[in-house]
Amino acid sequence: MTTILRLLGGRSEWLICLGVFAALLLVVLPLAFNGYFLNLLGRYLALAFVAIGLVMCWGYGGMLSLGQGVFFGLGGYAMAMFLKLEASTPEATAKQSTPGIPDFMDWNQLTALPWWWEPFNSFSFTLAALLLIPAAVAYVFGYALFKRRVSGVYFAIVTLSLAAAMSILIVGQQGYTGGANGITDFQTLLGWDITTDSARYVIYYICVFLLLVCIVLGQWILSSRAGRVLIAVRDEENRVRFSGYSVEDFKIFVFMVAAVFSAIGGAMFALQARFISPSQVGIGLSVELVVLCAVGGRFSLLGAAFGALLIKTAEMYLSDLFPQLWTILFGLILLVVVLAFPKGLAGLYELARDYALDHFGSNQSHAALEEHADKRSLHGREEGFLVRAKRILGGIR
């Protein structure tokens, strides 16, 4: 017991947590759930990509983007376009007035594939596009916004408007995008049937693997000097500027990383849900993703990823049982998190760990705890609740 606690208080804590999370995703869940449910969990994990992007962009960078759905959608649509083209062979669509183009185009009286759909016939182009297009979009908007020093609530409003604009655009351009129904009805990826149970497992594992890669990459960035620059910008933006950093470059960079992560998530969503639609782009999802991140812990990559999975799984069970109550419960959870636990589930974990160290730990782990107290306070200014919660927990004893 003491040994475990000592490890938890030490420097390798993050690696242990990552290991536990990886074991949960790679071993426990596949054993506990069948292919159908695993596929649902995989969709929720696709949202976790966005949540970890938000930890970097919002938790560390202080830029609350309410338009991450735009990037999720770009990734998702890129993937869906490729899959849809694969499904729309002239043979498969022989009944259409123009065979060989996606069905919704035919319904909308299009007689040829639009030129910008053509390159999505190539899988390698699609993969490149789903990483590069979101990065480029994030760069352009990041550059325009951050160089003009647009920040805080204004950034939130502008990104929110972007999400609104993009979903309205997609709905409006039915012939080119599938409209409100989105892009649906595709079964194969490079000839491989993705509807089978075994394919579901394989895709789930790919999704988990990519998520873990993104988490490790994100943690590497956050624990480098760049991560400390982001914290410093939150504390004293001017000091960072006058220490010779181009603050905008760092903001643009982290916004781009978040965009690319979101796009990977979007692609994994399209692959597992086998559809993509404007509701994966718009305001609703964009804000929900921020909520998932907040509940999981806006300063913790693992917390945010876990939070996304947990909340969406809870929703899956509870919204069936109590469809009306779930929305209210969801709102209440968010209120409680914002008011009392700004660090979300990750903060609760820290409380529990510190409590355990306090009461069962040896003197050595006390030292480790203290080291942690220092480290923890790097992650934000909301120290008040920790002190409060500690007092409450102490009172229970």
Partner 1 sequence: MGGYTTSEIATIMAMQGIAGLSLFGVFLLMALGLAIIFGQMGVINMAHGEFLTLGSYATYVVATMFESYAPGLFSYYFPVAIVLSFLVAFGVGYLLEYGLVRHLYKRPLDTLLATWAVGLIMQQIFRSIFGGRGVSADAPDWLQGSIQLSQMLFLSRSDLFVMCIAIAMTVIVAILLYRARWGMRVRSTTQNRAMANAVGINTAKVDRNTFALGCGLAGIAGSAFTTISATTPTAGAQYLVDTFLVVVLGGAASLLGTVASAFSIAQAQSILEFFITGSMAKVLTLMVVIGIIMLRPQGLFTLKVRQ
Partner 2 sequence: MVANTQLLLSIEDLAVSFDGFRAVDGINLYLNEGELRVIIGPNGAGKTALLDLVCGKTRATEGSILFRDKQLRGMTENQIVHAGVGRKFQAPSIYESLSVFENLELTYPKGRNVIGSLFFRRTAEVEERIQATADMVGLGDRLEDLAGLLSHGQKQWLEIAMLLIQDPQLLMLDEPVAGMSQAERQQTAELLNRISQDRSVLIIEHDMKFVEQIASKVTVLDQGKVLAEGNIDRVKNDERVIERYLGH
Residue ranges binding partner 2 (CB under 8 A) = 220-221, 224-226, 228-229, 231-232, 234-236, 238-247, 249-250, 253, 374, 377-381
Binds partner 1 by CB under 8 A, chosen from 4, 32, 213, 332: 332
Q: Which two tokens stand for residue 234?
A: 């939150």
Q: How far apart are CA 395 and CA 51, in angstroms?
A: 34
Site for partner 1 in 287-316 (CB under 8 A): 287, 290-291, 294
Q: How far is the CB of 328 from partner 2 (least distance, A)?
A: 35
Q: Which two tokens stand for residue 295?
A: 């509940």
315 contacts 333 by C-beta, under 8 angstroms: no
Helices (H), 149-246: 152-172, 174-177, 197-223, 225-235, 237-241
Binds partner 1 by CB under 8 A, chosen from 113, 150, 216, 367: 150
Q: Select from partner 2, partner 1, none the partner in contact with residue 23, using the beta carbon and a kind-dependent cut-off of 5 to 8 Å.
A: none
Q: How far apart are CA 232 and CA 218, in angstroms?
A: 18
Q: How far is the CB of 226 from partner 2 (least distance, A)?
A: 4
Binding mask 52-91 for partner 1 (x = CB under 8 A): ------x-----x---------------------------
Beta bridge partners of 276: 183
Q: Select from partner 2, partner 1, none the partner in contact with residue 64, using the beta carbon and a kind-dependent cut-off of 5 to 8 Å.
A: partner 1
> For partner 1, which is the closer residue by CB, 381 or 397?
381
CA-wise closest residue to 39 among 275, 361, 375: 275
Using CB atoms within 10 A of its CB, is residue 333 exposed (0-12), middle (13-18) or buried (19+)? middle
58 contacts 298 by C-beta, under 8 angstroms: yes
365 contacts 6 by C-beta, under 8 angstroms: yes
Task: Give the DSSP letter of residue 68.
Answer: H
Binds partner 1 by CB under 8 A, chosen from 165, 232, 316, 393: 165
Q: How far is the CB of 54 from partner 2 (least distance, A)?
A: 19
Binding mask 271-290 for partner 1 (x = CB under 8 A): ------------x---x--x
